[in-house]
């Protein structure tokens, strides 16, 4: 009893001390990256974000922007800009701003992980994310870390919506989707998948409940039952559109399309970045609709019309090889994905009945997960001729790591295999995590 009391007295200071040590190591490594590695502001779009932030400040936040980079991150950086700052000074300021922001984002991730996992599991995931991804990007004048966390928050909300629909949750999901879109215009495929699958699930359920209510209670109650299931889903779209409306309305006025973005509107339908530079970019796509003959402007229909099926497949295959090569030879996050995924697959085979029951209980949720990661993987492969670096595919690293970790957590920690009154699987899972640390 006395030893337990002593441990509880020491536990909080020990955890605080560990956090401070890890934060210090993270800061040191990130600063080394900031000072020694990231010395060229022209690399990886940093100068473009600097120009956007400066233009926001100098125009009193009336600048339209080139519809390549979204406004939230430049707005954040513009708060630290001061008149007369040279490019070099602003570059250094912005890098340190991003480093501090990365610590705030890691604290937010720790809180979100803590809502689902035990502290050792939280610490394991946080160390993987911090020291195989964040530490290498914290010292950059880039939006990526902010977007990774915004995208993960949206992923969790969409996951929750497919489990239990509610009006407040739907509104929050729509708002977060809007903010994530204004951070980086990459969330629309995932949001589209959610709306379609949630519409199937809750629409069908609403119709069924309404039909049952109509037989027993009349048309009024049946209509209310239908609205209670379907209306929250509409709120997701409404909240999203309200959040992004000022931005997309300006896009419509200046560029002619509400969801105008040079990457998704034009560049994705070129075969290389050189083609894009000589195409719409050279004809003013950052200041308005490109001044080109309509038949020369790239689009999905034009691309599919001018390419064979074999060429389409070859682009995906070649792009996949390029992306996977970069992933394998990257910062080190790949091996942890393989370890977690391998353990999950083995565990699923061991407890296949439990997996089967879970899929039957909510098939739409598991279809969403499969489509979400599958579609984004294919999009990364497709976009590789334009940009195949890590920063694109890493947007789905935290959602992927969370998903396979959650599967392990649910399967292993809910197991009842015991030995002398102690859970063998729980002990094994905890020991395995300790080894990773």
Among the three residues 221, 256, 291, which one is the final residue of a domain in this structure? 256
Shared-domain flag, residues 230 and 326: no
What local confidence, expressed as pLDDT, does residue 423 receive?
Answer: 46
CB 260 within 8 A of CB 229: no
Shared-domain flag, residues 171 and 135: no
pLDDT digits (tens, 9 = 90+) for 196-245: 998 888 777 666 666 666 655 555 665 666 666 678 888 999 999 999 99
C-beta contacts of 305-314 below 8 A and 24+ residues apart: none
Shared-domain flag, residues 222 and 332: no
Shared-domain flag, residues 87 and 214: no
pLDDT digits (tens, 9 = 90+) for 329-361: 888 899 999 999 999 999 999 999 999 999 999
Shared-domain flag, residues 318 and 385: yes
Shared-domain flag, residues 12 and 142: yes
Shared-domain flag, residues 167 and 139: no
Is residue 154 assigned to a domain? no
Shared-domain flag, residues 416 and 320: yes
Shared-domain flag, residues 172 and 140: no
pLDDT digits (tens, 9 = 90+) for 34-92: 999 999 999 888 999 999 999 999 999 999 999 999 999 999 999 999 998 999 999 99
Is residue 70 assigned to a domain? yes
What local confidence, expressed as pLDDT, does residue 417 receive?
Answer: 44
CB 145 within 8 A of CB 98: yes
- pLDDT band per the 50, 70, 90 thresholds, residue 435: very low
**Mean pLDDT over the full length of the chain:** 88
Q: Residue 418's beta-bridge partner residues?
A: 423
Among the three residues 93, 119, 146, which one is the final residue of a domain in this structure? 146
418-419/422-423 β-pairing? antiparallel
Shared-domain flag, residues 332 and 204: no
Is residue 180 assigned to a domain? yes
Helix axis angle, 87-114 to 46-58, nearest 10°: 100
What local confidence, expressed as pLDDT, does residue 230 receive?
Answer: 76
Domain that holds residue 86: 1-146
C-alpha R_g of the chain: 24
Is residue 269 assigned to a domain? no
Is residue 264 assigned to a domain? no
Q: Three-class SS of residue 279? A: coil
pTM of the model: 0.90
Is residue 428 assigned to a domain? yes
CB 242 within 8 A of CB 170: no
Number of domains in the chain: 3
Among the three residues 99, 120, 146, which one is the final residue of a domain in this structure? 146
pLDDT digits (tens, 9 = 90+) for 172-192: 999 999 999 999 999 999 999
Residue in 119, 181, 14 with CA at minimum distance from that of residue 434: 119
pLDDT digits (tens, 9 = 90+) for 284-341: 999 999 999 999 999 999 999 999 999 999 999 999 999 999 999 888 899 999 999 9
Q: Three-class SS of residue 92? A: helix
Is residue 429 assigned to a domain? yes
Shared-domain flag, residues 176 and 125: no
In sequence order, what DSSP letters do the residues of 148-200 get, joined into one string? Answer: HHHHHHHHHHHHHHTT---HHHHHHHHHHHHHHHHH-S--HHHHHHHHHHHHH
Q: Residue 423's beta-bridge partner residues?
A: 418
Shared-domain flag, residues 225 and 312: no
What local confidence, expressed as pLDDT, does residue 165 receive?
Answer: 85
């Amino acid at each position: 009893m006395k030893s337990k009391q002593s441990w509880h007295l020491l536990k909080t200071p020990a955890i605080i001390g560990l956090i401070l040590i890890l934060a210090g190591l993270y800061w040191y490594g990130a600063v080394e990256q900031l000072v020694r590695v990231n010395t060229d502001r022209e690399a990886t779009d940093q100068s473009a974000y600097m120009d956007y932030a400066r233009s926001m400040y100098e125009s009193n936040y009336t600048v339209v922007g080139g519809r390549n980079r979204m406004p939230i991150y430049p707005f954040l950086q513009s708060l630290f800009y001061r008149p007369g700052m040279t490019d070099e000074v602003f570059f250094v300021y912005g890098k340190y701003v991003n480093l501090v922001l990365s610590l705030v984002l890691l604290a937010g991730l720790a809180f979100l992980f803590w809502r689902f996992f035990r502290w050792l599991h939280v610490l394991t995931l946080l160390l993987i994310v911090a020291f195989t991804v964040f530490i290498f990007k914290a010292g950059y004048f880039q939006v990526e870390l902010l977007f990774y966390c915004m995208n993960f928050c949206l992923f969790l909300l969409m996951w929750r919506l497919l489990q239990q629909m509610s009006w407040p949750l739907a509104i929050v999901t729509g708002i977060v989707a809007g903010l994530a879109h204004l951070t980086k215009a990459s969330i629309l495929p995932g949001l589209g998948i959610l709306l379609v699958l949630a519409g199937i699930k809750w629409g069908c359920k609403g119709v069924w409940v309404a039909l049952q209510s109509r037989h027993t209670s009349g048309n009024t109650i049946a209509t209310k039952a239908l609205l209670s299931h379907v209306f929250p889903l509409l709120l997701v779209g409404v909240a999203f559109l309200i959040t992004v409306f000022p931005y997309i309305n300006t896009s419509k006025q200046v560029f002619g399309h509400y969801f105008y973005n040079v990457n998704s509107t034009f560049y994705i339908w070129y075969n290389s970045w050189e083609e894009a530079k000589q195409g719409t970019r050279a004809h003013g796509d950052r200041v308005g609709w490109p001044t080109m003959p309509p038949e020369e402007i790239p689009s999905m229909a034009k691309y599919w019309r001018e390419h064979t099926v074999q060429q389409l497949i070859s682009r995906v295959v070649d792009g996949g090889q390029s992306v996977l090569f970069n992933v394998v030879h990257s910062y080190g996050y790949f091996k942890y994905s393989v370890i977690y995924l391998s353990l999950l697959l083995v565990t699923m085979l061991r407890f296949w009945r439990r997996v089967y029951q879970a899929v039957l209980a909510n098939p739409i949720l598991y279809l969403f997960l499969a489509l979400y990661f599958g579609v984004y993987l294919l999009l990364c492969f497709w976009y590789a001729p334009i940009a195949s670096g890590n920063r694109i595919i890493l947007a789905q690293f935290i959602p992927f790591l969370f998903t396979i970790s959650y599967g392990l957590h649910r399967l292993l920690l809910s197991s009842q295999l015991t030995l002398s009154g102690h859970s063998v699987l729980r002990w094994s899972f905890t020991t395995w995590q300790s080894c990773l640390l």
